[in-house]
Amino acid sequence: MNISLKDYEIIFDDTLSSLPNFLAEHKYSKVFVVVDENTKQHCLPILQNVLTAIEIIETKSGEIYKNIATCEFIWQQLIEQNADRKSVIINLGGGVIGDMSGFAASCYKRGIDFINIPTTLLSQVDSSIGGKLGIDFKYGKNLIGLFRNPKLVLVSSQFLKTLPKRQFINGWSEIIKHALIKDKAQWLLYKNIDIHNCDMNAIVFHSLQIKKAVVEADPYENGLRKILNFGHTIGHAIEAYSLEHDETPLLHGEAIAIGMICESFLSVKKCGLTQDELNEITKLILKYFPKYNIENYNTDKIITSMLSDKKNNATKILAALLSEIGNSVFDIEINKDEILESLNYYNSL
Ligand SMILES: NC(=O)c1ccc[n+]([C@@H]2O[C@H](COP(=O)([O-])OP(=O)(O)OC[C@H]3O[C@@H](n4cnc5c(N)ncnc54)[C@H](O)[C@@H]3O)[C@@H](O)[C@H]2O)c1
């Protein structure tokens, strides 16, 4: 099972056996593998079954380490181990490693190749493709970064076996999003399956095809790609607030799940989604993502954070909303009162 994009392929390869040939064909001088302590323990042994001549760069797990200091550490390791422009980096990890180490690779000596081997469900269905790379900065998430594609993406369902349950569910929010914005048939399927007992390769394959179609039509997010931000206008602001204030912050997918409920509520008000569809969406999302207590979040701060989001300008907040399940529209302006109303809807559930 493969998906071909314009510049690279996504290969579904449970054993990673296609990797040695790919590396040999590209005549890389050295292979660096960036891991964190969890992917070093659970995922590196699977990679080492097919590849031994590698240099390992170990970072610390967690969003708080997706920053310039960790990039400096990666660059220092590359320099100390004589990485040249024909070296390649394998990003073995979730979205944090993919975004950050892809960014580090893209800056090192004006850019060296990188390969993504996503090891979380979220990174398999979302962050490993589309070319968005970057790190968080003191003023917000993903503020420093660029667009650049990997040379190859390898997807293996082996990695999902060691993923903590919370992280597995987290990935489902982007799978649900892809169906809601572009694929009603897939949505109907998700209403009836047992997510803990289904063919994950088939689900990831389908979800990636939706993302592929969108990012290839609009690689730099000038138009259509904005539909991928459904749930993210409100969700990102909630995620940022939670990261700053909660002892156990919401994960990305959890915050996006809240954002999707709020933005579905706004879709009824503004874009023609029916009340029945809203009820259906709310029910399915709450089945996987139980209600989070966000009632004491400071809504002024959340709205200010939306205004400073790089996807908006300083005066208008724009969102991608649903016109029906399986169809979406973008650049819909939402105002402060509407956002508050949607948060009240979530809190009332
Ligand atoms: N570039 C994009 O288009 C894009 C899209 C969505 C999200 N993102 C970014 O992705 C990041 C979130 O990614 P994530 O959800 O993958 O989180 P993550 O990378 O933080 O990984 C989650 C946790 O799981 C551990 N882990 C990873 N694989 C494992 C495995 N197979 N077994 C056991 N533990 C494992 C990690 O060490 C970490 O502790 C955020 O920074 C977000 O901004 C980027």
Q: Per residue in 172-183, pLDDT tens? A: 999 999 999 999
Residue among 153, 165, 252, 260 to mutate when testing ligand 1 (max atoms within 8 A of CB): 252
178 is catalytic: no
Domain range summary for the chain, segments of one domain joined by +? 2-162, 165-348
Identify the bridge partners of residue 137 per DSSP, sorted by sequence position. 140
pLDDT of residue 40: 98
**Dist. CA 338 → ligand 1 center (Å):** 31
341 is catalytic: no
Dist CA 17 CA 22 (whole Å): 10
Model confidence at 312: pLDDT above 70: no
Measured from the CA of 159, which atom of ligand 1 is nearest? Answer: 31
Looking at the domain covering 165-348, what would its CATH class be?
mainly alpha
295 is catalytic: no
Dist CA 154 CA 115 (whole Å): 8
Per the CB < 8 A criterion, the answer to whether 207 and 175 are in contact is yes
The one catalytic residue in 177, 182, 211, 226 is 211
**Dist. CA 172 → ligand 1 center (Å):** 13
- Ligand 1 pocket at CB < 6 A: 36, 38-39, 42-43, 61, 63, 66, 93-97, 99, 119-120, 122-123, 126-127, 130, 132, 141-142, 159, 162-163, 167, 170, 252
Dist CA 102 CA 108 (whole Å): 10
Per cent of the chain over pLDDT 90 is: 89
Per the CB < 8 A criterion, the answer to whether 35 and 57 are in contact is yes
Residue 141 CA, chain-centre distance (Å), reads: 13
Dist CA 314 CA 155 (whole Å): 39
312 is catalytic: no
Identify the bridge partners of residue 144 per DSSP, sorted by sequence position. 135
211 is catalytic: yes
263 is catalytic: no
What's the CATH number for 2-162? 3.40.50.1970
Model confidence at 310: pLDDT above 70: no
Q: How far apart are the first and last CA of the chain?
A: 41
Per cent of the chain over pLDDT 70 is: 99
pLDDT per residue as tens digits for the range 77-132 = 999 999 999 999 999 999 999 999 999 999 999 999 999 999 999 999 999 999 99
The one catalytic residue in 177, 182, 229, 277 is 229
The protein residue whose alpha carbon is closest to atom 39 in ligand 1 is 61
Token pair listed for 167: 């992280």
